[in-house]
A and B are shown apart, each in its own frame.
Chain A
């Protein structure tokens, strides 16, 4: 999306502000929109209770900030934004925001509400000087399906509000196995995330992937297969843009590995095989008093808490096969944890679309506000809104993508798959869209794009096509044209067709494509 779209959206908000000058409620909504447009992408981490949301958040930050615990831990929606200095603020449902003390215990933040009852706190905002937060705001949510119903309700109210678009731009949904409630939640999020337009803006993470194979050393391979199956078949495919396995604890440990821990793993690796296997047979055995290894119980307990039994097993075997120092170990562990593919998936799917997602949220919110106005008031704002909606091609791409993913007509079969790829279903890079290798030269890209353009124009112009499929073809054509303008000149003799003739097949086009 062009940067102007974001500016246009800001202008839309500004003009709406004049219209609602005496409506404090609407002004509050518009303030929120202004902030949202100015901010980086808001990425929410959601999932059923104990899915490992806070752990993954720490792994993404590369720092253990979010408190994690064996029991249910996160009970209030917590925002992590970029700030120069650490700060913790509690936003109340009624009344002014309140600054809370920044206290840390063993690295993790201690959020002390003091005399504030949890139900009066709307959200907690943590300002943190972490480079990751410059490009996205992370939101940690309480688990759904919690036994304390009000905690689940708080998450639901935040992520899938009944009468408003969600405050999150996109979502990383963590699940351990596909559970019916996971599907229910994702459907609800899809329906509210960007208004009625139904954009798919979630990716799913098979979290705690190390546990899927009972902590065996090949657990993550197993998890990868499970994730691939979920993505391929079933209902999940229509609700998320991708599924990837992540061992959150391992990733968190890898991002924060200490030299002392590397030394400890070295000692474990140096043990004789049968002694080592005996020690690593279960978590209880690992922390039991023993003198076979020169590590005191507390150190071992710490290792286990930080890496899990799978992490300890993996790190030990990595050291055994010759990892030389702590940074190399951290890199290997990170690679095994699956965090990097997740980061790539998020960047690919949401990074380039963050403008589109924000503009969509803005237009939806403004549209909702305008509905409150009677009759013909605010015609200019309405016109601006319509202009923005009509011109924003990215929004149309998202619309079509969600329809294709849902399996609803207009397109079917291989056409649908190709269309999904071309409009950025697998990522918005030019080579990804065209299904070419990442290092394809501009010539190859241009040729492929021209061939595709031709095919889709023909498809759209077919007399058998109904209106919806013609519209779908138009969206794909438009994406391809945008792509061509990026990679190079449009070939000679090509019309700069924004309008697709609704008549018969266009003659001479195949020859044009062959050039």
Chain B
């Protein structure tokens, strides 16, 4: 993410539009929490526990920039870009009556307005490097819209706009996505993979008509991938019957799930901003949408971050209390020390087990991912083989030459649709696996006084955002797909060429021959050629399907490996830190034996002071905020 947003944010003064955007930010509980993190961090530094300090640094980073991504999706020309512009009251995303957005654009907070594009440098495949290039904000349209960058010929992965706007201050990032034309296309696949890293999704559809079949399909898929989906009914200023449409759409929505629907008018909101008209702003319907973003999206993300920060702090405090208290009790009660050491050694051995590769959670994780990979490969292969079989049947039924274009397009669609399904499915399964591991970890967690880590609450957050959207995990898949399409263009050429060979041989020379040899032979010849064309066509299809299977399963495998690595690092770090605390405690207890009486009193005073401070901190820890509606988060 951007450096700007990591630096502490200063109040940038009052934006003139704040009067209209009555949704002034309520300061989150973060400052207090941040102070606590700092304080405990200092204690840990004094105690020399660099591992715990690092953990707290990560916590602080998350607190400062929760990085809440809201992806705006929908069919094209529904007013997605304008919705974002109206939300931030600035022309952040280029809009046009005709041309559409071609590159995903993220709008986030910055002290100064700025714009960047992400371009991929051609490294070796698999290990891609992204460059972030600053561009003039006013030239953004040349990079992200279809007119300036048709079909993304500039090969951009994404764009980023930074604006000094209150609404974005809480770490909110609004992502404008290129419109989904049809569900069975590469663009839909890219959108789906963007959704998997989003905290919330807004599906935009305008008030001109009720939901169409593709829109409902998109909604359904989005709900399977993202925990927080809301629908937006745009352009209400234009359509007198928007209330009827709203009623109809709500009817459609009840069939899908419990989704909020917000009727809004971006034009009214923008007009309200220029005219400073509070009433018009209310009419635009935006206050409700902003409230949703604040309460159900930002607040929820903040709660998750706050919970995980609290977990971290209490974990660190407990770890440090353990060694301090052990040393103190060894000093105060030397005769009990051997038993204490024995107990601690025992716990240490368990901790060793726990972080070893053979511990149950490690095994479950490794097995789970291996199973998932093979299931996913099987699923993908199965779907694509079905496409291949149907294609071969179609080829056998006719002459593939003349219908090759349609056939190729059909295969393309079916493949994209199959890959999308596998993707959604894999995503669901990997979420499920993470939950599972967290539970095992919680159960297996051996008895260590007052160390609570196993709860899934703190965990969901880091895992939820593992495939980072902006630096282009999203488009790794997309690029490979485009790569496939590129070579597919070549394949198509081969198909046409074979078709043409069949034809060009009937030209001047062979025509004469044809007359001589007679109709029958000519027909036989045609049959032979037809057979050959069919054979070639099938070969092309097979090669294409092979290629797609190979590339896509590589992509998905990489994703799953990231899931595995994130889980392992997360839980492994907890196990390591526990182990280190125990080692420290044992060492401290052993050392007490060689301490002189005079030093002992002094040491005990120091330790008591430390302990008191730790206990004070522990006492000051606020209660965990209520977990956000988990049913909403997990129950899809």
Q: Which residues of A contact B (CB under 8 A)?
A: 48-50, 70-72, 145-147, 149, 152, 176-177, 179-181, 187, 208, 211-215, 219, 222-223, 225-226, 229, 281-287, 301, 304-305, 308-310, 466-467
Nearest CB in chain B to that of A71: its residue:
B248
List, in ascending order, chain A residues with CB within 8 A of B98's CB.
Answer: 212, 222, 225-226, 229
List, in ascending order, chain B residues with CB within 8 A of A281's CB.
Answer: 237, 268, 271, 280
List, in ascending order, chain A residues with CB within 8 A of B280's CB.
Answer: 281
Q: Is the CB of B181 within 8 A of A179?
A: yes
20 contacts between A and B (CB under 8 A): A48-B212, A70-B245, A70-B248, A71-B248, A147-B211, A180-B181, A211-B208, A212-B77, A212-B97, A214-B267, A215-B237, A222-B97, A226-B98, A229-B98, A281-B280, A282-B265, A283-B240, A284-B236, A308-B238, A309-B237
A24 to B98, CA, bound (A): 53
A145 to B236, CA, bound (A): 23
Q: Is the CB of B213 within 8 A of A180?
A: no
A208 to B238, CA, bound (A): 12
List, in ascending order, chain B residues with CB within 8 A of A466's CB.
Answer: 507-508
What distance in Å separates the Cβ of B477 from its nearest Cβ neighbour in chain A? 20
Q: Is the CB of A145 within 8 A of B212?
A: yes
Nearest CB in chain A to that of B402: its residue:
A408
What distance in Å separates the Cβ of B118 from its nearest Cβ neighbour in chain A? 27
What distance in Å separates the Cβ of A502 from its nearest Cβ neighbour in chain B? 10
Interface residue? B525 (CB, 8 A) = no
List, in ascending order, chain A residues with CB within 8 A of B244's CB.
Answer: 70-71
Q: Is the CB of B210 within 8 A of A213?
A: no
List, in ascending order, chain B residues with CB within 8 A of A214's CB.
Answer: 97, 235, 238, 267
0 or 1 for each of B235-254: is its CB under 8 Å from A? (1 = yes): 11111111011001000100
Residue picked from B216, B239, B507, B511, most chain A C-beta under 10 Å = B239
List, in ascending order, chain B residues with CB within 8 A of A211's CB.
Answer: 208, 235, 238
0 or 1 for each of B378-406: is its CB under 8 Å from A? (1 = yes): 00000000000000000000000000001
Query: Which one, A180, A282, A285, A305, contacts B185 given CB within 8 A?
Result: A180
Interface residue? B551 (CB, 8 A) = no
Q: Is the CB of A145 within 8 A of B208?
A: no
Q: Is the CB of A284 within 8 A of B283?
A: yes
What distance in Å separates the Cβ of B2 from its nearest Cβ neighbour in chain A? 32
List, in ascending order, chain A residues with CB within 8 A of B182's CB.
Answer: 179-181
Bin the interface of chain B by size.
35 or more
Interface residue? B76 (CB, 8 A) = yes
List, in ascending order, chain A residues with CB within 8 A of B271's CB.
Answer: 281
Residue picked from B98, B210, B235, B267, most chain A C-beta under 10 Å = B98
A423 to B211, CA, bound (A): 43
0 or 1 for each of B70-84: is its CB under 8 Å from A? (1 = yes): 000001110000000
List, in ascending order, chain B residues with CB within 8 A of A283's CB.
Answer: 236-240, 242
A158 to B212, CA, bound (A): 20
Nearest CB in chain A to that of B271: its residue:
A281
Interface residue? B214 (CB, 8 A) = yes
List, in ascending order, chain A residues with CB within 8 A of B97's CB.
Answer: 212-214, 219, 222-223, 225-226
Query: Which one, B75, B214, B248, B283, contacts A282 given CB within 8 A?
Result: B283
Interface residue? B209 (CB, 8 A) = yes
Query: Which one, B76, B283, B406, contacts A285 given CB within 8 A?
Result: B283
List, in ascending order, chain B residues with CB within 8 A of A187's CB.
Answer: 406
Q: Is the CB of A146 within 8 A of B213?
A: yes
Nearest CB in chain B to that of A180: its residue:
B182
Residue picked from A281, A282, A301, A304, most chain B C-beta under 10 Å = A282
A314 to B213, CA, bound (A): 34
List, in ascending order, chain A residues with CB within 8 A of B507's CB.
Answer: 466-467
A152 to B242, CA, bound (A): 23
Q: A180-B181, A467-B511 given. 4 additional CB < 8 A pairs?
A: A222-B98, A281-B268, A284-B283, A310-B238
Nearest CB in chain A to that of B239: its residue:
A283
Instruction: Please classify the interface of chain A as helix (H, G, I), strand (E, B), loop, or mixed, using the class held by over half of its residues.
Output: helix
Q: Is the CB of B283 within 8 A of A72?
A: no
Which 4 pairs show the lowest CB-CB distances between chains A and B?
A: A282-B237, A50-B209, A70-B241, A222-B97
What distance in Å separates the Cβ of A249 from its nearest Cβ neighbour in chain B? 11
A213 to B98, CA, bound (A): 9
Nearest CB in chain B to that of A283: its residue:
B240
Nearest CB in chain B to that of A287: its residue:
B240
0 or 1 for each of B174-215: is its CB under 8 Å from A? (1 = yes): 000000011001000000000000000000000011111110
What distance in Å separates the Cβ of B13 from its nearest Cβ neighbour in chain A? 30
List, in ascending order, chain A residues with CB within 8 A of B181's CB.
Answer: 179-180
Q: Is the CB of A145 within 8 A of B245?
A: no
Q: Is the CB of A147 within 8 A of B240?
A: no
Q: Is the CB of A49 within 8 A of B212?
A: yes
Q: Is the CB of A71 within 8 A of B210?
A: yes
List, in ascending order, chain A residues with CB within 8 A of B76's CB.
Answer: 177
Nearest CB in chain A to that of B77: its residue:
A177
A70 to B97, CA, bound (A): 23
What distance in Å separates the Cβ of B450 from its nearest Cβ neighbour in chain A? 56
List, in ascending order, chain B residues with CB within 8 A of A287's CB.
Answer: 240
What distance in Å separates the Cβ of A463 from its nearest Cβ neighbour in chain B? 9
A322 to B320, CA, bound (A): 86
Nearest CB in chain A to that of B403: its residue:
A191
List, in ascending order, chain A residues with CB within 8 A of B209's CB.
Answer: 49-50, 72
List, in ascending order, chain A residues with CB within 8 A of B241's CB.
Answer: 70
What distance in Å separates the Cβ of B77 from its nearest Cβ neighbour in chain A? 5
Nearest CB in chain A to that of B237: its residue:
A282
A259 to B280, CA, bound (A): 33
List, in ascending order, chain A residues with CB within 8 A of B237's CB.
Answer: 215, 281-284, 309
A82 to B240, CA, bound (A): 34
List, in ascending order, chain B residues with CB within 8 A of A285's CB.
Answer: 283
List, in ascending order, chain B residues with CB within 8 A of A181's CB.
Answer: 182, 214
What distance in Å separates the Cβ of A508 from its nearest Cβ neighbour in chain B? 26
Q: Assuming the A-B contacts A50-B208, A222-B97, A283-B240, are A145 and B268 also in contact, with contact meaning beta carbons closer than 8 angstroms in the complex?
A: no
Residue picked from A212, A213, A284, A305, most chain B C-beta under 10 Å = A284
Nearest CB in chain A to that of B214: its residue:
A145
List, in ascending order, chain B residues with CB within 8 A of A49's CB.
Answer: 209-210, 212
List, in ascending order, chain B residues with CB within 8 A of A147's CB.
Answer: 210-213, 216, 252
A71 to B77, CA, bound (A): 20
A94 to B271, CA, bound (A): 57
A254 to B352, CA, bound (A): 84
A212 to B76, CA, bound (A): 12
Q: Assuming the A-B contacts A179-B182, A222-B97, are A72 and B210 also in contact, with contact meaning beta carbons closer than 8 angstroms in the complex?
A: yes
What distance in Å separates the Cβ of B416 from its nearest Cβ neighbour in chain A? 11
List, in ascending order, chain B residues with CB within 8 A of A50's CB.
Answer: 208-210
List, in ascending order, chain B residues with CB within 8 A of A212's CB.
Answer: 77, 97-98
Residue picked from B97, B241, B271, most chain A C-beta under 10 Å = B97
List, in ascending order, chain B residues with CB within 8 A of A72's CB.
Answer: 209-210
Nearest CB in chain B to that of A312: its residue:
B240
What distance in Å separates the Cβ of B613 from its nearest Cβ neighbour in chain A? 61
Nearest CB in chain A to that of B209: its residue:
A50
What distance in Å separates the Cβ of B577 from its nearest Cβ neighbour in chain A? 53
A176 to B111, CA, bound (A): 40
A71 to B236, CA, bound (A): 15
Q: Is the CB of A282 within 8 A of B213?
A: no
What distance in Å separates the Cβ of B84 from its nearest Cβ neighbour in chain A? 16
0 or 1 for each of B249-289: is its CB under 8 Å from A? (1 = yes): 00010000000000001011001000000001001000000
Q: Is the CB of A304 within 8 A of B213?
A: no
A180 to B214, CA, bound (A): 11
Nearest CB in chain A to that of B150: its residue:
A233
A213 to B280, CA, bound (A): 21
List, in ascending order, chain B residues with CB within 8 A of A305's CB.
Answer: 240
A432 to B241, CA, bound (A): 44
A284 to B237, CA, bound (A): 7
Nearest CB in chain A to that of B179: its residue:
A177
List, in ascending order, chain B residues with CB within 8 A of A179's CB.
Answer: 75, 181-182
A208 to B265, CA, bound (A): 19
A181 to B180, CA, bound (A): 12
A145 to B211, CA, bound (A): 10
What distance in Å separates the Cβ of A426 from its nearest Cβ neighbour in chain B? 24
Q: Is the CB of A215 within 8 A of B238?
A: yes
